[in-house]
A and B are shown apart, each in its own frame.
Chain A
Amino acid sequence: ETGVTQSPTHLIKTRGQQVTLRCSSQSGHNTVSWYQQALGQGPQFIFQYYREEENGRGNFPPRFSGLQFPNYSSELNVNALELDDSALYLCASSRASTGYEQYFGPGTRLTVT
């Protein structure tokens, strides 16, 4: 158990809809990163938030957006869902001052039909 929690565990949405996924970081961690993991692939970096600001972004379109709150929890929002967005979405928290270890949550399984 890493202390990073994600909700919901599973979610089914229809193409074109919007979805919000939530993450609570481990106590004392001020950096949150989001990853998308398709079946059989390694996680792909979406973006990172540090002190409530986006601090790096991977190769994902603008319909993937996020927020970080003052308590360092975070949301991932995906608009205009596509079938290819079906994946496991992982969040990871870390201390930006060291950053050597990222602590991952169990993920949210999103299915788009």
Chain B
Amino acid sequence: DAKTTQPNSMESNEEEPVHLPCNHSTISGTDYIHWYRQLPSQGPEYVIHGLTSNVNNRMASLAIAEDRKSSTLILHRATLRDAAVYYCILRPHQTGANNLFFGTGTRLTVIP
């Protein structure tokens, strides 16, 4: 399975934008880029996913490099509730094969 590389930890001030980077240099053409986050004492939570184009939803934006070897999750205004571990995951596009392979993720600390 293609691997991703993320910084172990990042900090952000409350109400400021946060850019969480992810490198995936061995990504294949059919791999989707997924982001999940895990709040303390909870199971992971889906955030966003994309293939080639940038994506926006109510939670975040996903910016994908033109060569797809890296991506950035953007939280437009960090809140204290956004403090979590963020996982960048590559998922092959196969019907039914929707298991996820998590790395160690980036622990985001939001400073009031």
Query: Footprint of B on A, CB under 8 Å?
Result: 2, 4, 31, 33, 35, 40-45, 48, 50, 55-56, 58, 90, 92, 94, 96-97, 99-107
List of A residues within 8 angstroms of B49 by Cβ:
100-101
Interface secondary structure of B, over-half rule: loop
Specify which of A41, A50, A94, A103 is in contact with B104 (CB 8 Å cutoff): A41
Q: How far is the CA of A103 from the CA of B34 in the complex (A)?
A: 13
Cβ B46 vs Cβ A42 within 8 A: no
Q: What bracket does the count of chain B residues touching chain A fall in?
A: 20 to 34
Beta-carbon nearest neighbor of A33 in chain B:
B99
* B103 close to chain A: CB less than 8 A: yes
* B44 close to chain A: CB less than 8 A: yes
Cβ A104 vs Cβ B98 within 8 A: no
5 closest residue pairs by CB, A with B: A104-B43, A99-B98, A42-B102, A101-B46, A96-B96
